[in-house]
Amino acid sequence: MSRFYISYNALMQIGILDYGVGNMGSVKNAITHLGHTPIVSSDEAVLSTCDCLVLPGQGAFGTAISALKQTGLVPFIQDWVTEKKPFVGICVGFQLLFEGSEEKGAHDGLGLLPGKFKHFPENIGLSIPHMGWNPLQITQDINGVFDTDDTAPFVYFVHSYYMPVSDSLDGGLSATAKYGVPFVAVVQRENLLACQFHPEKSGDVGIGILERFFASL
């Protein structure tokens, strides 16, 4: 991170949902870098006092949704997002917002976004998982998170399952990427930012996306 960003809105308390499978350290560091206060917790009472929530994630979809259910936070998260309170989903945390995934069996997600995740086709001639830097194809920027001077920003991905591009996101599709096949990379709705990639690991581009989202709140 070579540049230093500061949000010009009031500094916020950003709750990081702790359910045992998220990439807490780098997300916490990114939030601190932006001058906000990260609060890592699985306590609903603590999280409910936060200005924004972040759902990180890594590993398998089924393991992640099972761990999230064990915290008892699923109804709380569903209500929070439905009420359009500020929320960020990252990588597997992005995937959990959808209806489900076929990863190692059929698993239901939080059902807040339509669609189910599929495994990248084996015949695309590329190694799986998709791990590395790819450009985004921006379709719309609802919360103003993208740098208007960078029309194809490169960000860092790590995933084996993807959300096919369709018209079922009710206008929320914000950016796509391609790894053999095109896939949904960013969904935005009012006060919602959901990314298949890791903004906290995507250098200045990713930190800038988080900074501008927090500044929009």
Distances (CA, A) of 193 to 72, 91, 96, 145, 172: 23, 12, 13, 9, 10
Distances (CA, A) of 52 to 13, 68, 155, 184: 7, 18, 23, 23
Active centre residues (catalytic): 91, 198, 200
Q: Are strands 181-189 and 173-179 parallel, antiparallel or unpaired?
A: antiparallel
Task: Give dist(CA 213, CA 192) in Å, integer.
Answer: 9
